[in-house]
């Protein structure tokens, strides 16, 4: 049954299009759809040939909007839109709140959706921007493969494929990965539990506002109180303690010395609906949105106090029942005293073992670790992974067997408030090519960062140390592009622009699939987007530092570009750039790279001998050229990291770079440059 023309391509009952057995009708229908301009005005589905973007002439916005619920075709609260003056797609709730972005379009993929790299084999995207408007369109790579993007009622954007021999649509990827991460997916005063089949439930003391639509999986109306609060009498309301809760958004901070004063502050405010005490008093006013129950596996969380009517306090009801039954069970307890004693001992032991899991989360995502828990997780900091000027890194294991990397910082002259602020900024950064910060510890003088553990260690261990694993060219090129993407994100897509300041192989970590992830933001310097430059004390590792570090000039993201160029040369050669310097500056490997590239000679001679010449020559040539552009003396001559990504992906062309002036001086006057050797050389310490 075709319930609505605007829903023609989506109705589950429309078997001529979506049925599992009628492929010829689907082929005919999709062909008809692609040839009709009416589908330039998408609803919840983006089909090949359709446009998403902005019409500058009519001021029309071409975006996706799902139904309100499966039986109500009214527009829902979610939308999938192209940003006004850019190439990123955004997911919106109620037209105002953004909760996901695709990242910028590189010319080949969307930077925050790595799965789109595989789309080259399924779909080809085209971006157009002119006086008429700016928009994306796409086409299927094969005539017998049908594809579509759909914004679900859940607020998730999904990419489906129906290929030759398929009997149903196959989901390729979706964002957000979890439905609970869609903004207000369960409505106000509800809780989202990803492990529960029903997903959404009302908070204790609340009930569905519109039960009829709640049964249709439409939770947008949320829940309301069973018993209204009476603000004129604080005795009529109390607080229900909830555990393992990810704090909802939009909290306010109050000054309160302890949890009791925080509770009273909330109780005396008629608008206050919840509070939490996490070394500071946090309160929530009005509707509670995005309350999420953390997964049961390895739960870490904190107590959250929900304001309810005294008559609705679930704990009080349970307490009353226990009191009634206590007398009737007293004799049984006496008889089983011995067994109870043993049981209590066992419970104490179990709680002690699990105490490291009773952690607090702050700022919606970061875990506030206790020092004793980290000491236990690292077995008293016994397994050292590395050591640098700013601290040592140890391997740790949480009670749920999750491996972590624990960095104990030293010589950090920061107060707790400043440290928390910087950690909060770092923790908000999420990208596939950046190591995720789990949490931190700030007890007394202790300053510790906790990251995801990378099982394949750092890039330097595979490039420079004796290792049975030899990275082939494909893996190296993948690492080079991934590292560039991570830097491009730090420089251009973060809310606050970040200069890493210490790009080197030791800080390129590899996960189980050898995907690169930039680590160690302890040296990063944040600069607001309103400032293009910032003067800072010199940081980083000598040998990867741009000339402006030594000249005292202001540092910009182009300093990271220089370091990346030096790193890229080492990825190509499989050796330290400084190797052979004891025999003369003419052996400085970047000089050899620059000479061969500018003369148009065979770049395969620059390749790591262990690869025996096995490399894609076009990719190798691009890598050598872009490395030489990155290490130019003048930062204005260096490309942006976004441009580096596009060049390495083959989206943009790259010309022959000039020999950098500092390399030219070393090449022409090696004797005069001998005094500069300390500038080039680097210590063997790792960060």
CA angle 350, 354, 358 (to 5 degrees): 140
Contact between residue 200 and residue 184 where contact means Cβ atoms under 8 Å apart: no
Residues facing 409 on adjacent strands:
391
Q: What's the CA gap between 493 and 500, in Å, rounded?
A: 14
Torsion angle, alpha carbons of 408, 409, 414, 418, to 10: -60
Q: How far apart are CA 111 and CA 423, in angstroms?
A: 24
d(CA 536, CA 612): 43
Say if residue 407 carries a ligand binding annotation.
Answer: yes
Chain centre to alpha carbon of residue 446 = 27
507 close to 674: Cβ distance less than 8 angstroms? no
Specify the length of the chain in residues. Answer: 687
Burial class (CB in 10 A: 0-12, 13-18, 19+), 38: exposed
- What would the DSSP string read from start to end of 528-564? -TT-S-B-----S-TTS--HHHHHTPPB-THHHHHHH
Burial of 3 (0-12, 13-18, 19+ CB in 10 A): middle
- Three-state DSSP class for residue 397: strand
Q: Which residues are catalytic?
A: 502
First and final C-alpha spacing in the chain: 63
Q: Choose among 484, 487, 498, 501: nearest CA to 546.
A: 501
Does residue 260 contact residue 350 with C-beta atoms inside 8 Å?
no
Distance, CA of 325 to CA of 8 (rounded, Å): 60
Q: What are the tokens at 401?
A: 């067997």
SS in 3 state form for 633-652? CCHHHCCCHHHHHHHHCCCC
Q: What is the DSSP letter of 604?
A: G
Instruction: Please answer whether residues 114 and 432 qualify as being in contact, where contact means their C-beta atoms are separated by less than 8 angstroms.
Output: yes
* Binding-site annotation: residue ranges: 407
* Binding-site annotation: residue ranges for ATP: 407
């Amino acid at each position: 049954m075709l319930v609505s023309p605007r829903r023609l391509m989506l109705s589950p009952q429309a078997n001529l299009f979506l049925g599992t057995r009628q492929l010829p009708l689907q082929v005919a229908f999709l062909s008809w759809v692609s040839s009709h301009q009416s589908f330039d005005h998408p609803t919840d589905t983006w089909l090949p040939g359709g446009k998403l973007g902005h019409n500058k002439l009519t001021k029309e916005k071409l975006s996706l909007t799902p139904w309100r619920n499966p039986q109500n075709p009214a527009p829902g609260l979610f939308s999938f839109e192209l940003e006004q003056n850019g190439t990123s797609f955004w997911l919106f709730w109620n037209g105002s709140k953004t909760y996901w972005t695709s990242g910028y379009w590189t010319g080949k993929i969307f930077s925050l959706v790595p799965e789109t790299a595989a789309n080259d084999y399924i779909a080809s995207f085209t971006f157009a921007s002119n006086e008429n408007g700016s928009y994306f369109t796409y086409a299927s790579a094969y005539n017998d493969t049908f594809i579509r993007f759909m914004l679900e009622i859940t607020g998730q954007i999904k990419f489906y494929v129906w290929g030759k021999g398929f009997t149903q649509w196959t989901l390729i990827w979706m964002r957000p990965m979890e439905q609970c991460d869609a903004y207000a997916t369960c409505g106000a005063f509800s809780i989202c539990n990803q492990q529960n089949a029903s997903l959404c439930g009302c908070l204790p003391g609340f009930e569905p506002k519109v039960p009829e639509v709640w049964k249709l999986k439409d939770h947008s109306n949320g829940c309301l109180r069973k018993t209204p609060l009476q603000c004129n009498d604080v005795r009529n309301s109390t607080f229900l303690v909830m555990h393992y809760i990810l704090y909802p958004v939009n909290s306010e901070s109050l000054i309160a010395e302890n949890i009791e004063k925080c509770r009273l502050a909330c109780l005396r405010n008629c608008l206050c609906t919840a509070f939490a005490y996490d070394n500071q008093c946090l309160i929530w006013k009005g509707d509670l949105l995005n309350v999420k129950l953390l997964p049961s596996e390895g739960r870490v969380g904190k107590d959250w106090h929900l304001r309810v009517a005294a008559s609705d306090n679930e704990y009080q009801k349970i307490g009353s029942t226990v009191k009634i039954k206590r007398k009737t069970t007293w004799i049984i307890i006496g008889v089983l005293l011995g067994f109870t004693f043993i049981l209590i001992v066992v419970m104490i032991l179990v709680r002690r073992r699990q105490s490291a899991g009773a952690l607090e989360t702050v700022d919606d995502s970061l875990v506030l670790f206790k020092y004793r828990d980290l000491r236990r997780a690292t077995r008293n900091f016994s397994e050292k992974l590395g050591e640098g000027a700013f601290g040592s890194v140890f391997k740790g294991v949480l009670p749920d067997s999750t491996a972590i990397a624990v960095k104990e910082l030293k010589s950090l002259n920061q107060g707790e408030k400043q440290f928390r602020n910087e950690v909060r900024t770092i923790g908000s950064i999420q990208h596939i090519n950046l190591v995720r910060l789990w949490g931190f510890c700030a007890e007394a003088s202790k300053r510790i960062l906790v990251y995801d553990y990378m099982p394949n260690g750092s890039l330097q261990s595979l490039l420079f140390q004796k290792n049975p694993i030899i990275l082939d060219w494909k893996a190296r090129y993948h690492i080079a592009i991934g590292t560039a993407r991570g830097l491009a994100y730090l420089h251009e897509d973060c809310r606050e622009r970040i200069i890493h300041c210490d790009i080197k192989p030791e800080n390129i970590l590899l996960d189980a699939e050898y995907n690169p992830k930039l680590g160690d933001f302890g040296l990063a310097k944040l600069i607001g987007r309103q400032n293009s430059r910032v003067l800072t004390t010199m940081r980083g590792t000598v040998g990867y530092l741009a000339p402006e570090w030594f000249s005292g000039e202001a540092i910009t993201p182009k300093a990271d570009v220089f370091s990346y160029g030096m790193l890229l040369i080492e990825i190509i050669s499989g050796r330290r750039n400084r190797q052979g310097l004891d025999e003369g500056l003419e052996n400085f490997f970047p000089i050899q790279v620059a000479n061969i590239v500018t003369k148009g000679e065979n770049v395969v001679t620059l390749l790591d001998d262990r690869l025996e010449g096995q490399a894609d020559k076009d990719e190798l040539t691009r890598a050598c050229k872009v490395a030489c552009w990155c290490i130019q003396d003048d930062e204005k001559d260096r490309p942006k990291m976004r441009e580096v990504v596009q060049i390495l992906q083959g989206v943009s062309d790259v010309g022959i770079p000039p020999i950098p002036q500092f390399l030219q001086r070393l090449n022409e006057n090696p004797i005069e440059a001998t005094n500069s050797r300390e500038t080039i050389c680097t210590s063997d310490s790792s960060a």
